[in-house]
Amino acid sequence: MKRLKYLFLELGWFLPVIVGQWLFAPHILRSKWQAIPLIALPAALYLTLRDRAALRDGTWTISEESSTGVNIAGVPIKEAIFFLLTSWVSAQGVILLSDERAPGELAGLKTRLQSRRRCKHTDRR
């Protein structure tokens, strides 16, 4: 189980962010979903290859105790997945923030949060 701990932690860290981005503005991400892998995959590949070079050159090491033993391109799978998830979250964030509808979405979110806060405050009285 120790070998899978980091992998499960990664999913626990990233999936709420990815899902949250989709809940925030699903119509924006749905309209540009094809761009997500086009942005994320090359970035993840680059980071994975740089990690492989750093591991090979001894810049850093990865404990065998916490590694699954499965490698992708000479890099432990947990590292490659980390780079993929990091790149995926970043790609979605760039798409969301660069869309012309984003300011309206942010304003709507702020209004919903303020309304929810007022309702909770009113309920306490």
Write down the domain spans for the chain.
Answer: 2-99
Question: Where are the alpha helices (H) located in the chain, listed in sequence order?
Answer: 2-24, 26-31, 35-57, 77-98, 102-124
In this prediction the pTM is 0.80
Span 96-125, average pLDDT: 79
User: What is the pLDDT, as a whole number, of residue 125?
Assistant: 57
Quickly state the pLDDT bin for 123 (edges 50, 70, 90): low
Q: SS3 of 64, please?
A: helix
pLDDT level of residue 108 (50, 70, 90 thresholds): confident
Given a contact cutoff of 8 angstroms between Cβ atoms, the answer to whether 99 and 27 are in contact is: no
State the residue for tokens 């760039």.
94
Average pLDDT over residues 13-33: 94
- Mind listing the pLDDT tens digit for each residue in 30-86? 999 999 999 999 999 999 999 999 999 999 888 888 788 899 888 999 999 999 999
Place of tokens 């997945």: 81
